[in-house]
Structure 1
Amino acid sequence: MSYKTLLTTLEEGIFTITINRPDKMNALNRDVIEELSQAISEVYERSDIRSAIITGAGEKAFVAGADISEFTSLDAAGGEALARKNQQLVFDRIEQAPKPIVAAVNGYALGGGCELALACHFILASENAKFGQPEVNLGLLPGYGGTQRLTQAVGKGRAMQLIMTGEMVSAQEAQQYGIANAVVPAAELLNAVKKILLVIHTKAPLAIARVIACINNFDHTQKGYDFEIRQFGECFGTADKVEGTNAFLEKRKPVFTGK
């Protein structure tokens, strides 16, 4: 599929989605949201895609926020409808995808850009990356899951401070706080993500999908544990479980089929 605002490539089962508006710091506008939704559908539907990377074009920005010009005509009902629609189209579908989707943050990840990265299953950042939720400077707050996902990543107190001040943090601080898993030189960023994904590709796809589902359903109460128990049991009905256990006992590498 061809896109106007995205560049996509598929190599070794890894679908790289690059938001391609470098002159606008890769800001999220209506077209980008709609095309991201289509690209995420490819991840869900195509069997030749095992995992995905989301990144930004150029050296300055991953995504430096939403296109604020699209906000000016909205009232309260319109703002709520926009947030609900875009979360359902893109952010929630990334988080719930049954295949790993990783953010390669190569510059500014601000506002909706930070929320896009947080919706991914994990984040690697370049040394020049910066993260922030500056919506309060516009009289707004994060509307694409930022209050929820940032709190899960960094804890209540730090999320309160970061969102209420609107301050940016460096890649190194983001790693320290638990936003980014690792910080690498910009030239090595995509290869670093691909190296991790290729390891994940050697694992059972149905098990990976259930890992994502269980972690997304994390709950301190028994509800979360019960969900994990059910997913664990379902794995026992898969051909990959038979192959994995047999390979272990036979001291060989498993060949998983995703069945």
Structure 2
Amino acid sequence: SHTHIISDEIGLDSASYSDQLSDRLEQSPSHFLGSYVEQLWRHYIETSSRYQLLAHNLQIHGDGKTLGEFDFIVCDNITGKIIHQEIAAKFYLGLPAPDHKSCLWFGPNNIDRLDLKAAHLKNKQLRLSDLEHAKAELERRHITKVTTQCILRGRLFLPWNQQLRKQCQDLDKLTQHSQKDVWMTLSELRDYAATKPENAQFWLLEKQQWLSLMTRKGSSLRYDEILAKLEQVVGNERRGVMLKTQRKLGTGLLNDETALFIVPDDWQKYRYDSLTIPSEKPLHP
């Protein structure tokens, strides 16, 4: 959906940024980024003058099992439409397909892929209202007609390796107009850092910072400090991490803000190996 452009209704300095939101985020039982984004989206809907929240995380049961769940059901006060919204926050790293016919977008830490996620959203999650048990539940809420929206937020990363980058750019037909950041292996980071000026700053981002890249003043690290942390997390624990880097100007301002995703050196091999694993449903990050 391209209809949700956050306006001045939502902002850190606006009245809508409230203690209620902070409390809700602190009380959230899940540490997953998707749950965090859901809470932010719920706050957006509840404080927006355009939308009315009708249901959130509405589960549909039938035949003794859970058939699915509506992320959000909202009423658009301008159009009068009832909308089933599915929201997802995803991060994908690009690689050319082995057959060189397309660019594939892989999740950093599992076999999740953008094409699988999109198919699952389109063919299952956004069709939940077609099920008879779902129709019955909606009718109990006096809802007879529902339209659907997918709100997909996140980042896409192209390889730092110039040969792989060019292949991805030549093959990418579906996301070619989207802004891209950069991914690299731990070994490549050492080469990359050699191209940065001495006053470059690095931040190791928590997952809740992955979307906005917002960081606290004074929380940056030197390259040697970042490298020591990454040797443990990426090298030993084999977890992909996101960094932010900036170069400081002489005036004290910052520019050249870049998001970097760092993965183990054999990440590419394991992503290609995952193509041999049958999977119709992407795994959760």
- Higher share in strand: 2
Structure possessing the higher radius of gyration over alpha carbons: 2
- Higher share in helix: 1
Classify the TM-score, shorter chain.
Answer: under 0.3
The alignment's TM-score, normalised by the length of structure 1, stands at: 0.24
The alignment's TM-score, normalised by the length of structure 2, stands at: 0.22
